[in-house]
Structure 1
Amino acid sequence: MLRFIARRGLTLALSLLVASAAIFAIVDLVPGDPASFMLGTGAQPDTLEALRRQLGLDLPWPVRYARWLGGVLTGDLGTSFTYRTPVAGLIAERMAVSLPLALLALGLAVVVAFPVGMLAAARRGRAADAAVMGATQVGIAVPNFWFAMLLVLLFAVNLRWLPAGGFSGWSDPVAALRALLLPSVALALPQAAILARVLRSALIETLGQDYIRTARAKGLTERQALRRHALRNALIPALTIIGLQFSFLLAGAIIIENVFYLPGLGRLIFQAITQRDLIVVQSAVLVLVAAVILVTFLTDLAYAAVDPRLRVRG
């Protein structure tokens, strides 16, 4: 197991190094000059050049990348061109919204998808299975921002049970959770539908294996065989989807964040792109890539915990 973890950890570190170089190069090649954006089109050439020297934009690409990477390794992500504050503080402030939102949405998706997927697999070909498949197809087809607006109309405008948007911070945890509830439900709907369909397919395939028939021949009911044997062996494709979904929810919730006016990481990246704040874009995207790679690493560990054979192969 230790060798398995060491191999995956080395892969994670190399992936982060390659990703950091790719992110810095791509962002650096984007047309436009941050100094010109900050000073405006009427800036004098000497003033523009002085600001470029102050921001370090006059240095060669390898030097700027080495400085940025050295700062990342020490926890210093630089200073925002626009906000003139440390980028690490900006990202931490926005992650305090995006991370709980992603975790809450993923938790809701798992809580809904697992019972629904198990029900559809246990009732394959029956009315319950057809109803679940129809509902999940609708859940996948409905855009989450449209569903979010329906939630706002129902629970915020008409019933007035929950706020329509905004986020007041974690000084009041109850108010913060109420602010995140509607966006998390909007994000969880399509993810729950996808996860339920994947789990159903994996369970149906597992239920056809010889060891399941043997377990039932020994006296286990269909429900017991499903819970004790089939579910664990069907978890690997479900874990893959869960890992991908968390990465998407963390990095791809920008539309929902704008619908509910949440100060999340997605909105920060969008604002930084429009303001040509390259240091914020580079650092925020690197944080998201690191989160995706870390989730993949944890998913690999979950694979090994669910199926010990993978540890031997690893």
Structure 2
Amino acid sequence: MYKYVIRRLLVMVPVLIGVTIVISSIIYIAPGNPARIALGANANPEAVQALEQQMGLHKPPHVRYIEWVGNILHGDFGESIRGGREVSAIIAERIVPTIELAVVAMIITLVIALPLGVISAVKQYTWADNLSMLFAIFWISMPSFWLGLVLILVFSVRFNVFPTSGLNGAIFSATWLSYIALPAIATGTRRAGLLTRMTRSSMLEILNEDYIRTARGKGIGEAAVIYTHAMKNAMIPIITLIGLQIPLIFSGTVIIETVFSWPGMGRLLVNAVMARNYPVIQGAVLIYSIIVIVSNLMVDITYSYFDPRISYD
């Protein structure tokens, strides 16, 4: 296992190099002068020239790339064009709320999808199965941002149960839960629809296996058959889908954080794009890329726990 992890970490190096090349090319791909766009059309030439010097636009692209990567290796992501704060400090503030939102959204996804998928498979072609699939299709078809607006309208404006936006309170406190509830539901329920269908399909395949019929023939209780024998063997495709959903949840927070004014990485990235704040854009996109790569590695490692036949030695 350790050798496999080390190999995967080594493979991450060229992937990250490719990501940094793409990210560092943003300034050159984007139309217009980044310094003038950031300062506005009415900025005086001296201010534009000073910002160009600060951003290093007068240097050749390869020199700027090498300097940027070298600074990142030392933990220096540069300075924000707006305010002059260090990008690393800004990201450190914003990454925690985004992780909190993504984790709670994933918990909501799993709590909804796994039981519904199992019930739908066990009760195939019954009203429970039809109701579960109706739920899955309904949430898959509903955009997260639209659901977020509906939740705000109903639970914040109409009944005043939850706050409309922002984040407040210590983690796991009642105040914190009230602020994170709506954005987490808006993010997690749509993913739950897809995962419910996958869980049902995977469980149906396993429940038709010979060893499941043998376990039932030995008199093992139905609950033990489902959750001890069937569920664990059905988890491989489910884990694969969960691994694919993790990056989607993080990318989905970009819209949800804007709808709910959530102080996370997604809203930071949107504001940075609108302001053409390239140092912040580069740092945020790089962090998102690292999260995606690490999540894929964690999913691969999880395979061996649920299926001992999978070995990385």
TM-score under structure 1 normalisation? Answer: 0.93
Instruction: Report deviation, 1:138.
Output: 0.8
Matched, 1:226 2:236: no
Letter in 1 for 2:67: R
How far, CA to CA, are the matches of 1:52 and 1:26 in structure 2?
15
Taking a change above 3 Å as real, the CA distance of residues 122 and 274 of structure 1, as seen in their structure-2 partners, is same
Taking a change above 3 Å as real, the CA distance of residues 198 and 36 of structure 1, as seen in their structure-2 partners, is same
- Please name the residue that 2:212 is paired with: 212
How far, CA to CA, are the matches of 1:150 and 1:40 in structure 2?
36
State how 1:53-68 maps to structure 2 within 5 Å.
53-68=53-68
How far, CA to CA, are the matches of 1:215 and 1:73 in structure 2?
55
State how 1:46-57 maps to structure 2 within 5 Å.
47-57=47-57
Matched, 1:178 2:172: no
Instruction: Indicate the larger mover: 283-292 or 202-211.
Output: 202-211
Taking a change above 3 Å as real, the CA distance of residues 27 and 300 of structure 1, as seen in their structure-2 partners, is farther
- Please name the residue that 1:110 is paired with: 110
Q: Is the 8 A contact 2:240 2:299 kept in 1?
A: yes
Taking a change above 3 Å as real, the CA distance of residues 256 and 54 of structure 1, as seen in their structure-2 partners, is closer
Taking a change above 3 Å as real, the CA distance of residues 209 and 115 of structure 1, as seen in their structure-2 partners, is same
TM-score under structure 2 normalisation? Answer: 0.93
Q: Is the 8 A contact 1:236 1:306 kept in 2?
A: yes
Instruction: Report deviation, 1:149.
Output: 2.3
- Please name the residue that 2:247 is paired with: 247
How far, CA to CA, are the matches of 1:195 and 1:17 in structure 2?
33
How far, CA to CA, are the matches of 2:209 and 2:123 in structure 1?
17
Taking a change above 3 Å as real, the CA distance of residues 54 and 12 of structure 1, as seen in their structure-2 partners, is closer
> C-alpha offsets along residues 119-174 of structure 1, whole Å, 9 cap, x if unaligned?
00111122211111111111111222222222223322232221111223648943
DSSP-derived class of the 1:220 partner: coil
Instruction: Report deviation, 1:252.
Output: 2.0
How far, CA to CA, are the matches of 2:15 and 2:105 in structure 1?
27
- Please name the residue that 1:74 is paired with: 74
Taking a change above 3 Å as real, the CA distance of residues 274 and 122 of structure 1, as seen in their structure-2 partners, is same
Unaligned runs of 5+ in 2: none
State how 1:132-281 maps to structure 2 within 5 Å.
132-168=132-168, 170=170, 173-281=173-281
Q: Is the 8 A contact 2:144 2:190 kept in 1?
A: yes
Instruction: Report deviation, 1:96.
Output: 2.2
Structural RMSD (CA): 2.0
How far, CA to CA, are the matches of 1:293 and 1:159 in structure 2?
41
How far, CA to CA, are the matches of 1:151 and 1:214 in structure 2?
47
Identity, in percent, stands at 37
